[in-house]
Chains A and B, each alone.
Chain A
Amino acid sequence: MTVTTTHYLVVSLLLFGIGLAGILVRRNLITVLMSIELVLNSVNINLVAFSYHHGDLTGQIFSIFTITVAAGEAAVGLGILLAFFRLRETTRLDQATELSG
């Protein structure tokens, strides 16, 4: 069975689901940030697959911008994590109760 664009979309969908579950379920902020990277990666698979599907380079260009944003997001997210760790001596998300009513 020849691999088509749909195969790539299914892989992307499953990776997105795994990442989304990780974001919502895990207690450790580091793992949540890693799950966000999984979601951004699944979007990149989509972009590259459609770039190939349409024979158009634009999808590849767009995925480069996605990678750029992911790098910035990781840097700022890990900075926030470090600031939170200094405040609370933990990276557990359920310890972030400063704003709970």
Chain B
Amino acid sequence: MEFLEFLAAHGADLLFYAFAALALAGGLGVVLLRNPMYGAMALLTSFLAVAALFFLRHAEFVAVVQIFVYGGGIMVLFLFVIMLVNLHRLPEPKRFLSQSPLALVVAGVMVVLLAIFLAQAALAPAATDLASFRTVEGRPLGNTQAVAWSLYRDYLLPFEIASVFLLIAMIGAVVLGRRQ
């Protein structure tokens, strides 16, 4: 019984730690694994763990979009290209570029600077009212409706520009991928 009470009180926190560890482990897998196919699977793990983190922060719609777009679309794109390119089974002699030590120093300095910034940042007290996440003009609807309401009313122009951007990206990818 004690265990169940502990779970009820701290279940969300335990889920956060589990999925955060999974996301970071997936990221490390992408960077360290030799075979790009294994790297893609590690990337998928990371995408899904990040989607779980979105669920834990009550961003249900974004979490599902993350699973569909990243876990579905982008992942399939990567797998197709890996299979197209790896037909020759090219030997992979070295994983890392010769500039690696210097690059790791640069990345490490960047992370340390951001960590110092984060440690010094004085965050405003967290909001306790999440009504705007799931209400539309006072009516209690879901997160999807709230996002849609905001997207189609307040952010209609960026939304349309995003669709034009996707069209341009699609044409660009088709032109680049076409055989000469």
Contact = CB atoms under 8 A, between A and B. Distances in A.
Interface of A: 1-11, 13-22, 24-28, 30-31, 33-35, 37-38, 41, 44-45, 48-49, 51-58, 60-61, 63-65, 67-76, 78-83, 85-86, 89-91, 93-94
A3 B16 contact: yes
A11 B24 contact: yes
Interface size class on chain B is 35 or more
B59 A21 contact: no
Interface of B: 12-13, 16-17, 20, 23-24, 27-28, 30-31, 36, 39-40, 43, 46-47, 50, 53-54, 56-59, 61-62, 65-66, 69-70, 73-74, 77-78, 81-82, 84-85, 88, 90, 92, 94-100, 103-104, 106-108, 110-111, 114-115, 118, 123-124, 126-133, 146-147, 150-151, 154-155, 158, 162, 165-166, 168-170, 172-177, 179-180
B123 A65 contact: no
Nearest to B161: A65
Given A45-B50, A71-B74, A78-B78, A34 B39 contact: yes
Contacts of A94: 97-98
Given A30-B36, A37-B74, A78-B78, A52 B30 contact: no
A91 B90 CA distance: 10
Closest 7 CB pairs of A and B: A55-B127, A79-B176, A72-B169, A24-B103, A17-B111, A22-B31, A18-B27
A16 B104 CA distance: 13
